[in-house]
């Protein structure tokens, strides 16, 4: 464990630069894609009206990317077993990854959910990063609320995040009502200080520092809970400096 912690400390120190550029997934989150207008791989017109589900998942993929098979298989499982969610593929089109090749891929593997090609709106989203596949959760207003640059071998992670958004967001917008004047001003609630427990297992260990570093390097995407526990310098994001602080805590030097 000591060797592991020392190696991780060296990695953290290497990547503790003054500042990182804005993370690509942060730039993608909040993007309104409701105005997109494109075609399905069979040529059928498609637009933002497909996001009629409370939440949908859209995965950017290419027929030549090996990791995309497991991703598309996971999407198909969600489409079959959870019709309450929208499931869509977003094809990266090039000389090899063509709509015809994608249609053959889908038929060969028994996948039966819609796949459309990029228009200018979606292209501007996926161009924020070079990763394939990328996945996005989109709400019923056509706004991206969460994004990953990763391939998932099972549907579990995607289902957990779709359920998270479905459970925390209101089912419908309530009618506005008049708010009575408060008789007293409630005392402000204090936000708990970050404690370094990034993986939320109840203890702070070197694995928390490693997970924080993976978030800093954009190898994984943190949830709001991860950030609340791991943003040690209160910068609004988990960065390499946070991983270093957490590691120093585990080694008893901070």
Most confident range, picked from 5-19, 141-155, 220-234: 141-155
Report d(CA 143, CA 230) in Å as an integer.
Answer: 26
pLDDT-wise least confident of 48-62, 179-193, 216-230: 179-193
Nearest to 147 by CA among 211, 199, 221, 198: 221
Terminal Cα distance for the chain, rounded: 18
CB 136 within 8 A of CB 58: yes
Give residue 17's pLDDT band: very low, low, confident or very high (50, 70, 90). very low
Q: Which range, of 50-59, 78-87, 243-252, averages the lowest pLDDT?
A: 243-252
From the centroid of its chain, how far is CA 30? 12
HEC string of 51-69 equals CCCCEEEEEEECCCCCHHH
* Maximum mean pLDDT: which of 4-8, 83-87, 194-198, 217-221: 83-87
d(CA 184, CA 181): 9
To which residue do tokens 């917008």 refer? 173
Please provide the size of the chain in residues.
254
pLDDT, tens digit (0-9, with 9 covering 90-100), for 184-218: 666 655 667 888 888 888 888 888 888 888 888 87
Contact 89, 135 (CB under 8 A): no
Closest Cα partner for 88 from 71, 66, 110, 70? 71
Residue 178: what pLDDT?
A: 59
Mean pLDDT of 26-45: 93
How large is the average pLDDT for residues 64-78? 91
Phi and psi of 63, rounded to 5°? -65, -25
pTM: 0.60
pLDDT band of 173, cuts 50, 70, 90: very low
CB atoms within 10 A of CB 131: 18
pLDDT (0 to 100) of residue 19: 32
Confidence of residue 120 (pLDDT cuts 50, 70, 90): very high
Kindly indicate the confidence band of residue 23, based on its pLDDT and cuts at 50, 70 and 90: very low
Mean pLDDT of the chain: 83
DSSP-assigned beta bridge partners for residue 147? 136
């Amino acid at each position: 464990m000591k060797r592991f912690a020392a190696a991780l400390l060296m990695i953290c120190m290497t990547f503790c630069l003054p500042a990182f550029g804005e993370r690509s997934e942060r730039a993608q989150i909040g993007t309104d894609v409701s105005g997109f207008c494109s075609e399905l791989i069979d040529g059928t017109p498609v637009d933002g009206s497909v996001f009629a589900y409370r939440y949908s998942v859209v995965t950017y993929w290419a027929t030549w990317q090996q990791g995309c098979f497991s991703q598309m298989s996971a999407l198909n499982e969600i489409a079959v077993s959870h019709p309450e969610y929208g499931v869509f593929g977003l094809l990266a089109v090039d000389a090899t990854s063509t709509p015809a090749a994608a249609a053959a891929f889908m038929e060969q593997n028994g996948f039966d959910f819609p796949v459309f090609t990029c228009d200018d709106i979606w292209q501007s989203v996926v161009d924020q990063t070079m990763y394939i596949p990328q996945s996005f959760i989109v709400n019923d207003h056509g706004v991206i609320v969460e994004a990953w640059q990763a391939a998932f071998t099972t549907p579990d992670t995607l289902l957990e995040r779709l359920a998270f958004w479905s459970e925390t967001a209101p089912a419908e917008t309530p009618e506005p009502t008049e708010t009575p004047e408060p008789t007293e001003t409630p005392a402000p609630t204090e936000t708990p200080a970050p404690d370094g427990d990034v993986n939320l297992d109840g203890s702070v260990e070197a694995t928390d520092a490693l997970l924080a570093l993976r978030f800093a390097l954009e190898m994984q995407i943190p949830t709001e809970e991860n950030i609340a526990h791991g943003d040690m310098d209160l910068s609004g994001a988990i960065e390499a400096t946070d991983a270093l602080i957490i590691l120093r805590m585990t080694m008893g030097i901070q």
